[in-house]
Amino acid sequence: MSLLALKERSAAHPAGRTPKVEFRNITKRFDSTEALSVVSFAGMAGSVHAITGENGAGKSTLMKLLAGVYPPDSGEILFDGRAIRFDSPAAARAAGVSTVFQELTLLPNLTIAENLFLGREPRRFGFADRSAMRRQAHAVLQRVGVDLHPDVTCGDLAIAEQHLVEIAKGAAAQADIVIYDEPTAALDAPGVDKLARLIEDQRRAGKLVFYISHRLDEIFRLCDMTTVLKDGKHVRTCPTADLTHDALVSLMVGRELARLYPERGAKPSTAEAALRVTDFVARPGGAAVSFAVARGEIVGLAGIEGHGQREIIRALAGLAPHMAGGALKFDRDGSAKPLGGSIVATARAGVGFVPEDRKTEGLYQPLSIQENIGLGMLRGASMMARAKIDRNRVRALMQQMNVRARDDRQSVSSLSGGNQQKVMIGRWLASGVDVLLIEEPTRGVDVGAKAEIYRLLRAFVDAGGAALITSSELTEHIGLCDRILIIREGAIVAELAGEEATEETVMSYALIGRPPERASR
Ligand code: ADP
Ligand code: MG
């Protein structure tokens, strides 16, 4: 075993340098999801190492293992050739790992300086030395290129500024290993440039920087090495210079679609629009989009996270105001109702919305399945009103949707993610809406429940409904949708029939706004 390991080592690192960090056969599961499956690769000091792959590939989980957020189920992490094991994020920090995660971790009631040095304030005669702290904070902010006073309370900062302070906090930590998890999602272009300079400094200082991103231009600009993960498995680690855009896209995608998806319906001969969106601008300064969704159709808004799909569907749902243009929902008799006012108006127009985050936005967790489904029947009435609910109808729906629960009185908080999602969709089916707007129809759902949700949606449109979805899973767009609208920087850059789309073409449009150079598969 040790001989084998030695052999692998010398093959992987011909120069004979010991890697700063080595992952060996790392496996991590969450319930039924294998987030990481025997992942092995190494990162060298003095390099910027991209970790890339589609959403759900396991990138964040891997970095959280390195940051001591949780331990691997099996496998080892080696630092400078020695196996280490962290019991806590504090232990990882003490060992020189600094992390800038997607979630903001600043305490809003503390100042920038206090946040930067939280838990390791400079001390003098046993007391926190506030002036030293302020001085050092100022220096770090300068280094990151942030023009903010250290005494400003973090709660008063704009979100983008908070992200910059978050980055400064990572830089203040004086670590050998710095992890950035999709750091540019909330940054503007100058913010990205500042970050790029900081990362370059960190590389020159001999640190190992792990840079998680699925933005190809950033990977090619910043990273020496690239590791691709897919569905929790290691696909490749190689110098970024050995890759082209197209090659990287192929590594990130390129998987056979399982027979997880129902047959697409026959194309309706008269495309009767159920939803028509015209010159619709969903975010300030954003592009205008126009499209329609016909009865019998499932249409997907695809694209890289942060490119505006979410804003479009949310503005249509009435959750956020739109800036310009309009959207109409057509009833079967041809009468039109405007969309995009409020969530209640949306429901009154016969349009259901299923949000991405069921736990906080979608379901009333303490209430029973019966009440959650029944709420849809009270459409237009106060959503929280608990009125008489047709239990027989609810039970019939639960059966039709194959909701696995003891009975309809069980609280939804005790259901699995897949069953919660079915309850969400069931609520709208019960209400008799004929247009559904769905964010991430199957996020966090196991593969069996996925197939059932796809079947439900297909049955819904086959019966004359229309559905618009967003999804971060390309395969879901390709497998489920009749048409895919690809959004890049807020605009529709391409429309593909689900049947002819490949992951490669969708990804290429989403990333670079044009089809792949090679002929697609
Ligand atoms: P990525 O960062 O590449 O998008 P993640 O590491 O966040 O991927 O997730 C990998 C897989 O593990 C996904 O299927 C995700 O749903 C699942 N997962 C991640 N964290 C948790 C968690 N705390 N509980 C349950 N499942 C999780
Ligand atoms: Mg992630």
pLDDT score at 385: 43
Name the closest-CA residue to atom 22, ligand 1.
Answer: 30
Structural fold of domain 273-362+433-520: Rossmann fold (3.40.50)
Domains of the chain, residue spans: 1-95+219-252, 273-362+433-520
Instruction: Indicate the top mutation candidate among 28, 29, 33 to test ligand 1's pocket, ranked by most ligand atoms within 8 A of CB.
Output: 33
Which atom of ligand 1 is least distant from the CA of 181? 2
Tokens of 298: 């499932």
pLDDT score at 470: 96
Instruction: Indicate the top mutation candidate among 23, 55, 61 to test ligand 1's pocket, ranked by most ligand atoms within 8 A of CB.
Output: 61
pLDDT score at 475: 82
**Is it true that domain 1-95+219-252 has CATH number 3.30.572.10?**
no
Name the closest-CA residue to atom 12, ligand 1.
Answer: 35
- Give the side-chain half-sphere CA count within 13 A for 224: 14
State how far the alpha carbon of 328 is from the alpha carbons of 190, 229, 406, in Å.
38, 41, 41
pLDDT score at 374: 67
Q: Give the residue from 210, 123, 125 showing the smallest Cα distance to 170.
A: 210
Please report which helix (H) or strand (E) contains residue 457, including its range: helix 447-462
- According to DSSP, the residues that pair with 293 across neighbouring strands are 275
Q: Which ligand places an atom closest to the C-alpha of 32?
A: 1
Instruction: Look at the pTM and tell me if it is higher than 0.85.
Output: no
Q: Which residue type, as a one-letter code, is found at position 302?
A: A
CA of 186 to the centre of ligand 2 (A): 14
Q: Is 356 in a helix, a strand, or coil?
A: coil
Tokens of 510: 């989403």
CA of 363 to the centre of ligand 1 (A): 21
pLDDT score at 316: 95
Spatial distance between the Cα atoms of 287 and 480, rounded to a whole number of angstroms? 26
Residue identified by tokens 């309809």 is 408
pLDDT score at 447: 62
Q: Which ligand places an atom closest to the C-alpha of 57?
A: 1
The residue ranges of the chain whose pLDDT is under 50 are 1-12, 14, 255-258, 380-387, 519-521
Which atom of ligand 1 is least distant from the CA of 53? 3
Q: Which ligand places an atom closest to the C-alpha of 252?
A: 1
Spatial distance between the Cα atoms of 193 and 196, rounded to a whole number of angstroms? 5
pLDDT score at 129: 76
Angle formed by the axes of helices 447-462 and 417-431, to 10°? 10
Spatial distance between the Cα atoms of 310 and 315, rounded to a whole number of angstroms? 8
251 near 228, Cβ under 8 Å? yes
CA of 408 to the centre of ligand 2 (A): 35
Spatial distance between the Cα atoms of 138 and 122, rounded to a whole number of angstroms? 14
Which atom of ligand 1 is least distant from the CA of 62? 6
Spatial distance between the Cα atoms of 340 and 80, rounded to a whole number of angstroms? 56
The answer to whether 1-95+219-252 and 273-362+433-520 have equal CATH topology is yes
Spatial distance between the Cα atoms of 324 and 286, rounded to a whole number of angstroms? 10
Instruction: Indicate the top mutation candidate among 23, 26, 30, 73 to test ligand 1's pocket, ranked by most ligand atoms within 8 A of CB.
Output: 30
Long-range pairs, 199-204, Cβ under 8 A, ≥24: 199/48, 201/143, 202/48, 202/171, 202/178, 203/46, 203/47, 203/48, 204/46
CA of 268 to the centre of ligand 1 (A): 38
Q: Is the dihedral of CA 259, 265, 271, 275 positive or negative?
A: negative
Q: Is 250 in a helix, a strand, or coil?
A: helix
227 near 19, Cβ under 8 Å? no
Residues with a CB atom less than 6 Å from ligand 1: 30, 33, 35, 53, 55-61, 444
pLDDT score at 364: 64
Q: Give the residue from 102, 99, 95, 133 showing the smallest Cα distance to 116.
A: 133
